[in-house]
A = this chain, B = another copy of it.
Amino acid sequence: MQPHSHSTTPPVPVLRREADLGRRLRAVRQVTEALAAPLSAEDCALQSMPDASPVKWHLAHTTWFLETFVMVPYLPGYAIFDPSFRTLFNSYYVGIGDRHPRPERGLVSRPDLATVRSYRMHVDAAIGALLTAPLPAGVAELIELGIQHEQQHQELILTDVKHLLSRNPSRPVYDPRWPLREVAPQSLRWHPFARGLVVVGHDGDGFGFDNEGPAHRVYLEPFELASRPVTHGEFAAFIEDGGYRRPDLWLSLGWDTMVARGWQAPLYWEHPRRGWRTFTLHGMVEIDPHTPVCHISYFEADAYARWAGARLPTEFEWEHAATGCAIRGNLQENGALHPLPASNATDGAGPAQMFGDVWEWTRSDYAPYPGYRAAGGAIGEYNGKFMSGQYVLRGGSCATPAAHIRASYRNFFAPDARWQFSGIRLARDVPGSA
């Protein structure tokens, strides 16, 4: 078994690697700015709830990450752009020092958006300077982490601004192009997987977050996995059948949460009497019955699965099933920014749509793998300290960059979170197999 390790990098020539790093970082930084381009200064400044952050904050925080973990320690003579940013744009790194409180990110009108753009340029220029010379040991890995980190925040820019615009009574449009085309509906089929000992976790080839390793063995009982995610139409049938009024379908905590919040449908659904409509980054639309349902909590996913006579997969079942699948699908680069219907084409013999469209809730809580150990220092706070009270989601969504997702990738959210593009892939036990 080969555990994941940043130190066992392959022996590629250093210069080529750095050139590639620089090129990739620039490209990723430009994508971030392109995502914010359609937005006004006001769109970028507001915070619609504590879970979400202003776009301006995302623009600044990703820059702060590079400044704090790369520029300050490794670029001699680097001039800090503004010392107050050290606190203002620190998300949760206690090891770095004080953090501006998360629920107050929307109370900061200054620096304004133009200043944050200058901050980005300042740090980008410094990175350019750093990359003109051979990098000290470990710095390439930190820049790689900065790239991956910025990609994560690209997805959050999209989900957070979607939430913000949804709170405006006029339901403004982020991008007026509507991506859906007519398709032939795909019926749901089941793919069987046999029992056995399998290896899961990141194998050390290419980038992986620390929480994806070490790779290790798990024993799986036989199971079946659905050929595609649950659709809007299937979920509407669950609602129609009283899904939100039957406590026997719900986890106890899920029922209490649903009642307390007054949920009666997924987030962004409106107007049940005149036919369900939902808010998208392209404005209000009628739900399309063949598209994967999204913006549902773990609790709703679990209740739906019970109603359907199935269950959610474990993260290891999911990863085992996904291991052979090509990483393609309706991802951020596709530009749809909304889950799309399954096409006729399948991913070979396995389940379709494993990557992209919607993050798929698993029944696995977000816990450390055997032998997991967080890195030392503040950077070790990246993942490990969040390993309680959250569930793992797999596969990426229509807002995830293609270069960011892989079979071993573990996303995680609290079971009541609904503002991500989160959906359902069903699994079930094989009858009589135990």
Cα-based distance from A33 to B64 in the complex (angstroms): 36
Determine whether the beta carbon of A363 is less than 8 Å from that of B367: yes
Cα-based distance from A194 to B415 in the complex (angstroms): 35
Cα-based distance from A88 to B168 in the complex (angstroms): 9
Q: Can you list, as one digit per residue, whether each of A136-177 has a CB less than 8 Å from chain B (1) or not (0)? A: 000000000000000000000000000011011110100000
Contact of A251 (CB < 8 Å), options: B94, B214, B387: B387
Determine whether the beta carbon of B169 is less than 8 Å from that of A88: yes
Flag whether A109 is at the interface (Cβ < 8 A): yes
Flag whether A385 is at the interface (Cβ < 8 A): yes
B-facing residues in A298-350 (Cβ within 8 Å): 298-299, 302, 311
Determine whether the beta carbon of A371 is less than 8 Å from that of B429: yes
Cα-based distance from A212 to B123 in the complex (angstroms): 55
Q: Can you list, as one digit per residue, whether each of A342-378 has a CB less than 8 Å from chain B (1) or not (0)? A: 0000000000000000000001110110110100000
What is the count of identical protomers in the complex? 4
List B contacts of A3 (CB < 8 A): 434
With A216-B221, A434-B214 known to touch, is A388 a contact of B42 (CB < 8 Å)?
Answer: no
What are 26 A-B pairs with beta-carbon distances under 8 A? A40-B109, A41-B42, A41-B112, A42-B45, A42-B110, A46-B107, A46-B108, A48-B107, A84-B170, A87-B169, A88-B170, A95-B248, A109-B164, A109-B168, A109-B172, A110-B168, A110-B170, A220-B370, A223-B370, A251-B386, A251-B387, A253-B389, A255-B385, A363-B367, A364-B367, A365-B367
What 5 A-B pairs are tightest by C-beta distance, nearest first?
A365-B365, A42-B109, A221-B370, A371-B434, A42-B45
